[in-house]
Amino acid sequence: MAKQALGLVETRGLVGAVEAADAMCKTAHVVLTRYEVTTEGLVTVTVRGDVASVEVAVERGGRAASRVGELTATHVIPAPHLQLEDSLAGPGPLPAPRMD
């Protein structure tokens, strides 16, 4: 399996994170892999996919989050180290949801 890029969008509050996740999944061929809630209401959403798709998704997700809440950070890691895979990045590609 080819390595997949990791995209992260961090917001303060859940509403912006959900808006970012929705925009990322609608914009590009990426898989939503994880939500991480940390201190002081920070929420990080991660997506996986090819580098170009993840870059577009993170850019659009960040824009969407900033329209409805507080965007604190965005970042793309083109080829995450293997040690990140299970602990931070979430699982590899998940099966596509059925649309029937």
For every one of its 100 residues, what pLDDT tens digit does the chain have, with 9 covering 90 and above?
467 899 999 999 999 999 999 999 999 999 999 888 888 899 999 999 999 999 999 999 999 999 999 999 999 999 887 777 666 655 544 444 455 5
pLDDT of residue 99: 52
pLDDT of residue 82: 76
Q: Which domains does the chain have, with CATH numbers?
A: 15-70 (3.30.70.1710)
The CB-side HSE value for 49 (13 A sphere, CA atoms) comes to 20
Buried b / exposed e across 49-68, counting CB within 10 Å, b at 16+? bebebbbbbbbbbbbbbbee
pLDDT of residue 85: 64
Predicted TM-score (pTM) of this structure: 0.82
pLDDT of residue 90: 54
pLDDT of residue 2: 60
pLDDT of residue 66: 97
pLDDT of residue 92: 46
